[in-house]
Structure 1
Amino acid sequence: MDKKISLKEAISIGIGGMVGGGIFAVLGLAVSLAEGATPVAFLFAGIIALITCYSYVKLSLAYPDKGGTVRFINEAFGESVFSGGVNNLLWISYIIMLSLYASAFGSYAPNLLEIFGRKIDFHIYASFIIILATMINYYSIKVVGQIESYAVTIKLVILITFVIIGLYGLFGNSNIDQLAVTHWVTPVKFLTGGMVIFVAYEGFELIANAAPDIISPQKNIPRAYYYSVIFVIILYILIAIVTVGSLPFGEIAKAEDYVLAEAAKPMLGKAGFFIITVAALLSTFSAINASLYGGSRVNYELAEDNELPKHLTMMLWNQPVGLMITAVSTLVLVNLLELESISTAGSVGFLFIFATVNFASFKLYQSIKGNKIVPLLGFFMCLAALAILIAQQYNSNRAGIYVTLAIFISCFLSEWIYKRSQNNAE
């Protein structure tokens, strides 16, 4: 008999999926864009995630399946080029997130080694951690699960402690004025900041993959989604308040890639810097481990559903061949792209996927016994956020938009070519 998942474990899956490497990777970038309005930017991104939760709740209850998002999209749009293209984008988005986590690991690791007087290039750290996580995935999936369960507890304890001490330390700190409305940027800019860090909320959808095994699903599936997302929204807003209130904007920009560790210095000195750096390394490592596993499974399922070539169902060293493809693709991306480009591509990808899931919920509202208005609102909010992000990033990070566009085109074009070749073969 398969092990059933309790409400507590389901919430842990959601929180663990969200509080991975995203917050460590893009917090500095978000503050650089939104400045004093960063907490509001996190709230805006969180509201979109929370509304999208409604669609995931209804779809998870109606179609409990380990395929999660893939199943929902196929239910709404059938085996079409569109559904195949979106599902391919989901797999590529896993690779983008892996690149983001590896980038964060590569940014924090040099600071830890500098404490001991050594300096190694960022790319070596980023590449090493991907290779190590790949080896662990091939060695034992059980070890992957154990690493994730311990890491979730440790990183939450460290982050909550950081928030408690940080809020106390804000009293009397001259930088607290940076949170005032006078230091807010234009609405478009702080909304862009919120969308760039939207990747930090990606992860709650992993509850959908666990839905078939959750105890008392009618009661616990909605609780798992809403409790985990609300908890993370509050945690992120508090982290943003402590960060913006602890450091001058100039120092935040200087330490953009490892700003959370830098924000711990005013409160706890070098010890705080060290502890947050260790938490970042542990969080990003566990996120890479889990995402490699998840990405390879999405790849395998798409091949089984005939949306990718059947060759991708082959096994290599007792794991789907997609694991190696995912790992190699991540190595290429993290060594070619800048952090902002990776973050932009990830946010655009998941905003589009979530828009599609919201529309699927709207389309299937009778079958899933849902409301039409909420998913439709989520659909338009995702599209609006997508438009704001693309417009702003086109002016400041055109390379990131070109990369994102190339990824979208390749996902749908490859699916069209594959479907056409299949039809010709029949």
Structure 2
Amino acid sequence: MKNDSNSDNKISLREAISIGIGGMVGGGIFAVLGLAVSLAQGGTPIAFLFAGIIASLTAYSYSKLSVAFPDRGGTVKFVNQGFGKTVFSGTINNLLWVSYIIMLSLYASAFGSYAPNLLELTGNKTYDSHMYLSAIIVVATAINYYSIKVVSKIESYAVVVKLIILLGFIIIGIYGLFGNPNTKQLAMTNWENPLLLLTGGMVIFVAYEGFELIANAAPDIINPKKNIPKAYNYSVWFVVFLYIIIAIVTVGSLPFNEIAKAEDYVLAEAAKPMLGKIGFSIITVAALISTFSAINASLYGGSRVSFELAEDDELPHHLTSMLWNQPIGLLITAVLTLVLANALELESISTAGSAGFLLIFAVVNYIAFKQSTSIKGNKLIPFLGFIGCSAAFITLIIQQYTSNLIGVIVIISIILLCFILEFLFKKFHSK
């Protein structure tokens, strides 16, 4: 193994920004855009802005903590730094692992929604989406076991491909908005019920999850005091701008009834008015590449989180054991993803994922607020991030309680289960 001080292992600002953008522009936007439009209607761009503001406040807290406590454990390190190795910190860190599994389920579900459309265009027989999402989880798991280098190569190429396609979609889409009668839908923002706008932003908050991966790379970033904050800020605001423009193009291209009909693959459908079947195919391919690369990377990340938690005595030490040269947590993560992706609908998965990360980010913001003096940070920004994440979490639970009770039951059950299991483990482990 090379020494960490070796310049070959160092990460430049550009590479750090790529990590943040690649983490966010995964399968999230392809999976949840239709869901956001169904909730926020013409106010979808505003909903993405709401979610982006909360993400940017949280990114500030992450940047300060990453500079003060650079560690490959990232979020796990920050939570333990703020609360010690307690039942509470163990609960939050275990929730992080489960949230990775929920995100994997979301990406797999999106892959399962887009794959049949591509095969229909080629004239081949299509199968149930569950077959595709299950197959891609199995394939990605096999690749992770085969070679981590292959995983990183897939991710590096996928980031470039999906950004080129999405930027092309935006450029052509903006041109296509001129003279399109559907652009009047952008004025249909329901200001009388701002709760729906906020909820629309919170349900799709998972589309911004991923910038925290910069924290895991913090020890290797060149000139960290200067480049870490830049990496967070540049990547988050680039993605906020990207998502808002994508939302504008989508809402302005298709009538709401067509968006609702193609909710699970709306981005591909939005390319049809501009480029016909070719546009539909290109976006579908981009979605498949993005979700596949996101599954690959998240499987790797999830297995590493479980390994680190086991090393920190927050999960049983059996999870530090290896199977085929990879942590046993990789297989466990894959199996749980298969179960969750096949058991839940897309909205329930998205709600659970967004709620999980909002709660985790609220805790991280609180830690940055509490330790603002030692990390040389502004006290107000982390406090606003904490309030924003907490309020968004509560709002999401309240609104989804009436429209998506299963999603609410899933996330509350997961949080309680993480707490109970951690409490029992700590009690047993202390003996």
TM-score (norm 2): 0.97
Contact 1:55-1:361 at 8 Å conserved across structures: yes
Q: CA RMSD in A?
A: 0.8
Residue 17 of structure 2 corresponds to 11
Of 75, 79, 93, which residue of structure 2 is paired with 1:73?
A: 79
- 1:233-255 C-alpha deviation (Å, 9 max, x unpaired): 00000000000000000000000
- Taking a change above 3 Å as real, the CA distance of residues 408 and 342 of structure 1, as seen in their structure-2 partners, is same
- The match for 2:412 is 405
How many residue pairs were aligned? Answer: 424
Distance in structure 2 (CA, Å) of the matches to 1:359 and 1:184: 31
Match of residue 344, structure 2, among 337, 348, 351: 337
Partner of residue 328, structure 2: 321
Give the residue type in structure 1 aligned to 2:34: G
Q: Which residue of 1 aligns with 2:366?
A: 359
Q: Which residue of 1 aligns with 2:89?
A: 83
Correspondent of 2:386 among 373, 379, 383: 379
Aligned counterparts of 2:172 and 2:189: Cα–Cα separation in 1: 26
CA distance in 2: counterparts of 1:400 and 1:231, whole angstroms: 30
Distance 1:292 1:185 in 2: 42
Where in structure 2 are the equivalents of 1:37-186 lying within 5 Å? Answer: 37-117=43-123, 118-181=125-188, 186=193
Verify the 8 A CA contact 2:304 2:327 in the aligned structure 1. yes
Match of 2:402 in 1: 395
Unaligned runs of 5+ in 1: none
Letter in 2 for 1:212: P
Give the letter aligned to residue 59 of structure 1.
L
Give the structure 1 partner of residue 252 of structure 2: 245
Aligned pair in 2 of structure 1 residues 182, 311: CA closer, same or farther (>3 Å)? closer
Q: Residues 139-174 of structure 1, C-alpha deviation per residue, up to 9 Å, x if partnerless? A: 000000000000000000000000010001000000
Q: Partners of 1:88 and 1:44 in 2: how far apart?
A: 27
Separation in structure 1 between the aligned mates of residue 156 and residue 417 of structure 2, nearest angstrom: 35
Q: Residues 405, 183 of structure 1: CA spacing in aligned structure 2 closer, same or farther, 3 A cutoff?
A: closer
Q: Deviation per CA, 1:61-117, whole angstroms, max 9, x where unpaired? A: 000000000000000000100000000000000000000000000000000011122
Question: Aligned partner of 2:386: which letter?
Answer: F
Percent of pairs with identical residues: 73
Q: CA deviation at 1:184?
A: 5.8
Deviation at 1:185, TM superposition (A): 6.6
Residue 392 of structure 1 and its aligned partner are, at CA, apart by 0.7
5+ long unaligned stretches in structure 2: none
Cα distance change on mapping 1:182 and 1:190 into 2, 3 Å: closer
Matched, 1:197 2:204: yes
Which of 275, 290, 294 is residue 297 of structure 2 equivalent to? Answer: 290
Structure 1 residue 370, shift from structure 2 partner: 1.2
Distance in 2 separating the partners of 1:98 and 1:52: 22
> What's 1:226 paired with?
233
1:35 corresponds in structure 2 to 41
After TM superposition, the structure 1 stretch with the greater mean CA deviation from structure 2, 361-370 or 238-247, is: 361-370
Q: State the Cα distance separating 1:201 from its structure 2 match.
A: 0.1
After TM superposition, give the deviation of residue 422 of structure 1 in Å.
1.5
With normalisation by structure 1, the TM-score equals 0.99
Q: 2:370 & 2:381 partners in 1: Cα distance?
A: 12
Shift of residue 119, structure 1, vs aligned partner:
1.2
Number of the residue aligned with 2:263: 256
1:7-40 CA-partner distances (Å, limit 9, x unpaired): 0000000000000000000000000000000000
Distance in 2, matches of 1:133 and 1:182, equals: 40
Q: Deviations over 1:347-399 (max 9, x none)?
A: 00000000000001011112111121111111011011111111110000001
What's the CA shift for 1:263?
Answer: 0.1
